Amino acid sequence: MSELNEVITEQLSVFIMGFALIIMVLAIVLIIQGARIRKMRRKYEAMMTGNGVEDLESLLIDLRNQGDMLEETQREHKTMIEAAQVKLRGMKSKVAVKRYNAFGERGNDLSFSMAIIDDNRSGVVLTSLHNRENSYIYSKPLEGGESQYPLSPEEKEVIALASQQI
């Protein structure tokens, strides 16, 4: 037993130094972890203040519900935009007018041709022919830029001008 006491006495300083070193390493790790926890707590408190939510789980559930509502609203807006685009394609939004003197007589350019078409070049051409005694207005329907009625050069020109518009 005395030999055991001698071995323990000889090795005691090594054990104490080893344990002291381990305790110092653990103390440093404890200080670092405490600093990290304090930093996380400050961030958590900053995030949770002012939103009326008591815990992180409630906040996440609330954010998820808001995200779902936004997605639904976005789907509704997308549907509305698509419907508006379909309507816009069919609208007669391209208009061109050309004034001219139809009979070559003296006077001003009182005659005109006006094309009102959509993106598919469908619509109508209105032509007003004015002379000294009378004024005549003609309407010719268009499908794909063509009409079942003969088109004058001025009417073809206004159809081309209207087609070039964006």
Predicted local confidence at residue 105, as pLDDT: 65
In which residue are the tokens 């007589």 written?
A: 105
Overall pTM surpassing 0.75 (yes/no): no
Nearest to residue 103, comparing CAs of 135, 130, 133? 130
Helix (H, G, I), strand (E, B) or coil at 102: coil
Residue 103 near residue 110 (C-beta atoms within 8 A)? no
Residue segments in the chain with a per-residue pLDDT below the cut of 70: 51-53, 105-107
